[in-house]
Structure formats: C-alpha cells, structure tokens
Amino acid sequence: MIDINDFRAWHTVVLMALFIGILFWAYSSRRRSSFDEAANLPFADESLHAQSIAQMKEEEQASKEEEKS
C-alpha cells in the first residue's frame, strides 16, 4: 500500500525532473536566439523614440523662431 510518504517522495522526484527539464530547455542553444530577441524587445523602438525627440526639438526651434519674428 502506498502511504503519504511514498506519494511525497514521488512528487519530489517528478518536480525535480520537471525543474531540470525546464533548465535544459531554457539554456539550450536552440532557444538562445529567440530568448535574445525577447531580451532586446524593450529597445526595439529606440530609433522611433530618437526620431520623435528630434521632431519635437525641431518644432520647438520653429516655434521660438516664430516668436522672435
């Protein structure tokens, strides 16, 4: 008969195997490129941000020039 301690032991073994499987999946070389891409997502719109900042500066300069004249 299986008692609670046997269940706990098998539960621990299954969870340890699952944890090791996730580690291998996360650090596998096949997944590296997609993880690198995901890591760089916050920086994906930097060029768009730089363009909008430059446009805002141009508009500020144009409004200052209009005020002077």
pLDDT tens sequence across 46-59: 777 778 888 888 88
Model-wide pTM > 0.95: no
Instruction: Decide: 62 and 56 in contact? Cβ < 8 Å.
Output: no
Does position 69 have pLDDT exceeding 70, yes or no?
no
Does position 32 have pLDDT exceeding 90, yes or no?
no
Q: Which of 3-12, 44-53, 54-63 has the lowest mean pLDDT?
A: 44-53
> Can you tell me the distance from the alpha carbon of 28 to that of 21, in angstroms, rounded to the nearest whole number?
10
The radius of gyration of the chain's CA atoms, rounded to the nearest angstrom, is 28
**Residue in 33, 12, 31, 34 with CA at minimum distance from that of residue 22:** 31
